[in-house]
A = this chain, B = another copy of it.
């Protein structure tokens, strides 16, 4: 086993085993959210816990550490951009995170967050922050412990962010987000001041669920989601789950009185799904066959949902078809009116209902609050007031309840501290990728007008999908766009949208 080649192959074999366990859990979780009968909940929890235990056992096997030591000092690392070096780098990253966490901490986090998610649901339903408060305090204490166990050089938050966006620093985020906020806030203000409004009621007309499904499914197929290797089902919260080669499931929910909800969530999930479907099947279960980071994953969903799905060329193709699918609801609605309605920019309280501009202020707020909570600058008991103050400063309006404020998201209850920023990273990466794609493929808009999306998908496949996690996000971004991650393309995109929709610059 001292031969580095042999050690490397054994590492990959073990990595694939862990991935197979994960893929079984993915099937079980998908089923839980789509078809599982209600009485199955407890037992499904036992199945998932058992698989998670097996997976943790395999991920922390000391032999992995020994194998890593052998390959790290070998010629396999000679070229840092090789598949082998990328795999080894990421396997080490994953192994270190896994073994640095004491078993006791892992178990306590699991226990505390399982309960906290239940309590959070209750707290949100009854608008009672005090119910959730002690649980959030416990979670923060454990996440501080986690960050300390993982280790960091600059800020504690780095260690948590690193789980979702490996290699990105809090410092970089702070600079990016400051830039973004500085331009977003006045832009949104100018839009509000201009006084123009779309016909909002057109979305609240009758859009039968089965027709919505049919239309969304055909649009997802048109942009390139492969239904031979995937499905669209219904669940309470839309999601995408790539089980493995040839099988990726996406879900949505249908509101017969709101067309845009399901449709854009299907484009979003199909974007995630196309990324999963585009990963290398041969490299399944190794880092090179896995998604790069949550920010990059989210860029793929946002790109299709917003950059493509809310563009004029897209609807030049699809709007006549949409009118045919819903003749009664859309007979008296022009394409321009529809385009305005799907691109309305307007401050609102709830993140998941926000437009593509104000959405990012929701994220910046959460990022800042997380930093303060983790450092202890903000006590959990003061969270509701602090949230509302910041919200007023950023959005110019004040939540009237914690359900509309700091209780709205599930993330903290499952311990997802450091997760929110990846949503806005997705928006920034998406705009940056799209700008580069338009430069490389000047015919793109013309193709969209004719309902052709294959050039873009092929470009994404070349630049992003096929690399998996071989490169870190920063490298992937630089290679694909010839510049570092920056908010400029996104801001340019939003200014263009504001100009075309609101006549505001």
Contact = CB atoms under 8 A, between A and B. Distances in A.
Contacts of A31: 27, 31
Contacts of A35: 35, 231, 233
Given A40-B246, A44-B247, A50 B228 contact: no
B246 A37 contact: yes
Given A46-B20, A51-B24, A39 B231 contact: no
Q: How many copies does the complex hold?
A: 2
Interface string A1-38: 00000000000000001001101100110010001111
A50 B22 CA distance: 12
A39 B227 CA distance: 9
A215 to B, nearest CB: 20
A221 interface: no
A244 interface: yes
A90 interface: no
Contacts of A243: 40, 43
Contacts of A231: 35, 37
Interface of A: 17, 20-21, 23-24, 27-28, 31, 35-44, 46-47, 50-51, 54, 226-231, 233, 243-247, 284
A43 B226 contact: no
A372 to B, nearest CB: 42
A247 B27 contact: no
A179 B38 CA distance: 47
Given A24-B24, A47-B24, A51-B24, A37 B229 contact: yes
B229 A42 contact: no
Contact of A39 (B20, B24, B41, B229): B229
Contacts of A37: 227-231, 246-247
A471 to B, nearest CB: 25
A230 B31 CA distance: 13
A94 B41 CA distance: 29
Nearest to A50: B20
28 contacts: A17-B50, A20-B46, A20-B47, A20-B50, A23-B43, A23-B47, A24-B50, A27-B31, A27-B47, A31-B31, A35-B35, A35-B231, A36-B247, A37-B228, A37-B229, A37-B246, A37-B247, A38-B229, A39-B228, A39-B245, A39-B247, A40-B229, A42-B245, A42-B246, A43-B245, A43-B284, A44-B247, A46-B244
A246 to B, nearest CB: 4
